[in-house]
A and B are shown apart, each in its own frame.
Chain A
Amino acid sequence: MKAFARRMVGIDRRVIFLLIAAAILLPMLKPFGLPIKVSPEVKAVYDYIEALPERSVFLLSFDFDPSSKPELEPQAVALLRHAFRKNLRVIGMTHWLTGTGLADGVFSQVAAETGRERGKDYVFLGWSPGGSALIISMGQDLYQAFPSDYTKTPTRGMPVLEGVRNLRDVNYMVSLAAGGAGIEMWYVFGKDKYRFEMAGGSTGVIAPGLYPFLRSGQINGLIGGLQGAAEYETLIKRKGTATAGMDAQSAAHFVIIVLVILCNVFYFILRGEKGSPR
């Protein structure tokens, strides 16, 4: 028994990698589809958008790059579907240069399926350097910060931006953030100064760090990781890649839990033995 435990404690990590790969692949081939519970922090974002009058201005900042696409793109798609369904005017932009193609692709895809027109119902402004300086610039004069959009169309005079001079004219804002240049920056240089309401969407790993902002009301809602995206898809009653991915995530979590429990069982079997693993 002890010999077996010793072998298992020092198992080749590639065996663990194989188990994880199986846990992720198998549910994708044979989904089991479980109900998804909605958390209050995700519902808060949904409720706010649901209560916005038609043609309200909704700013969506794609602060991520392709490495965070699996978690944040489903959030973006779900939010855009909701916003277009509510007939909101959507302004998109990004602080991450490597995320521009991704963001424009998402806009084009969701706009095509909902019959929305660029320039009339939405505009993707693209990327501009500066980070916090860009937010301040947008807060003073949006047209100076972005004289043209991603397709080089002049922003001044665009029907979708009618009556929008700067960030003070934004009714609601969501930052989909994968790290540094994201939610905190938008709050400190954006909401605190220009007084629009905002929420955050983030990868699962940074979501726990954003709960202090949620609890204090600095952001009114938080969509955390793939689970958050799946919850939002449940609320808008339109399943997407996030819901599809939850089965795989469930299986992977369970494999990790089983591995951790087994590892502790072997550890206790070997504990007290000379030369036993730390």
Chain B
Amino acid sequence: MIFLKRQLPLAITFVMGVGFILQYYIPHPVSEDAITTVSKWMQIISGFALFLGLASLFHVHAVKIKRQVPGWGYSLALYVGMVGTMVAGFWNHGETMADGGQTAFGWLYDYTMVPLQGTMFSILAFFIASAAYRAFRARSREASVLLVSAVVVMMGRVPLGQFLVPWTWDVTQWLLNVLNSAVRRAILIGVSMGAVALSLKIILGIERSYLGGGKDQ
């Protein structure tokens, strides 16, 4: 059992990892065919991951309904929503439009999913304002610099600001293209090094937390 849970996944990871590092440097059609084949496998596995997520969701909320834990009514609402959407989807063969008209599946998408997601995202506009009011204080030199540049960029990125104070447009462009690019590059380099280091550790079997389990690795 340990072999299946530990040794075999580590061996597969090592072979595939080293193989596809080398694939990058091999232009031969055999190498291209290999990556095409593996890409198809990855697409199939990604498709299965959807089912896993769904099964996990069904299971968790089924337990909540069965035990009638506080808030189990929301789990029931989730079930009704999920099953209803699935039935509508299968009934309409996954199509949102048919014969020039909207299907039930399309109606559910346009009149529940779109407004709900839009609503959640739009709360950010209000939260940004309240966070800015609370936090943008010139407590120190650095905070003052942050404050001034935030005000300049907020003006430079909208037509009213460009109209009232035209130079904010040019300063904003400079801030975005020069200062911002430089800092983002630095963060990108650091984060990328971290990602490369992690990938190498996973391939070489040094990092095993992705296999699950505790410190018995």
User: Are any A and B Cβ atoms less than 8 Å apart in their complex?
Assistant: yes
* Interface residues, chain A, with chain B CB atoms under 8 Å away: 11, 13, 16-17, 19-21, 24, 32, 34-37, 39-40, 65-70, 97-98, 101-102, 104-105, 108, 128-134, 136-137, 140-141, 144, 151-152, 204, 208-209, 211-212, 214-215, 227, 230, 246-247, 249-257, 259-261, 263-264, 267-268, 278
Further 6 A-B residue pairs, CB within 8 A, beyond A17-B130, A230-B159: A34-B163, A37-B162, A67-B121, A98-B113, A133-B43, A250-B158
The residues in B between 117 and 158 inclusive whose CB is less than 8 angstroms from any CB of A are: 117-118, 120-122, 125-126, 128-130, 132-134, 136-139, 147, 150-151, 154-155, 157-158
Q: How far is the CA of A227 from the CA of B118 in the complex (A)?
A: 18
Alpha-carbon distance between A40 and B181 when the two chains are bound, in angstroms: 15
Say whether B118 contacts A257, CB under 8 Å.
no
Is B133 touching A69 in the complex (CB atoms < 8 A)? no
Report yes or no: A130 in contact with B95, Cβ–Cβ below 8 A: no
Q: Which residues of B contact A (CB under 8 A)?
A: 32, 35-36, 38-40, 42-44, 46-47, 49-50, 93, 95-97, 106, 109-110, 113-114, 117-118, 120-122, 125-126, 128-130, 132-134, 136-139, 147, 150-151, 154-155, 157-163, 169, 173, 176-177, 180-181, 184-185, 188
Cα distance A36–B136 when bound, in Å?
28
A211 x B46 contact (CB < 8 A): no
B96 close to A211 (CB less than 8 A): no
Known: A36-B159, A215-B181. A141 touches B36 (CB 8 A): yes
Q: Write out the residue numbers on chain A whose beta carbons fall within 8 Å of the beta carbon of B136.
A: 260, 263-264
- Whether A260 lies near B151 (C-beta < 8 A) is yes
Contact indicator A260/B133 (Cβ below 8 Å): yes
Contact of A13 among B121, B130, B163 (CB under 8 A): B130
Partner of A215, one of B114, B134, B154, B177: B177
- B110: chain A residues within 8 A (beta carbon): 101, 105
Cα distance, A19 to B38, chains bound together (Å): 54
Residue of B nearest to A145 (CB): B43
Task: Name A253's contact: one of B50, B137, B160 (CB within 8 Å).
Answer: B160
Nearest residue in A to B169 (C-beta to C-beta)? A37
Give Cα distance in the complex from A204 to B157, angstroms.
Answer: 10
Cross-chain contact of A227 among B97, B114, B133, B158 (Cβ < 8 A) = B158
From known contacts A104-B97, A129-B47, A257-B151, infer whether A69 and B114 are also in contact, taking CB-CB under 8 Å.
yes
A259 touches B180 (CB 8 A): no
Inter-chain contact A34/B114, CB cutoff 8 Å? no
Tell whether, in the assembled complex, residue B39 and residue A70 are in contact, meaning their CB atoms are under 8 Å apart.
no
Option from B117, B134, B158 in Cβ contact (under 8 Å) with A65: B117
Is A136 touching B35 in the complex (CB atoms < 8 A)? yes
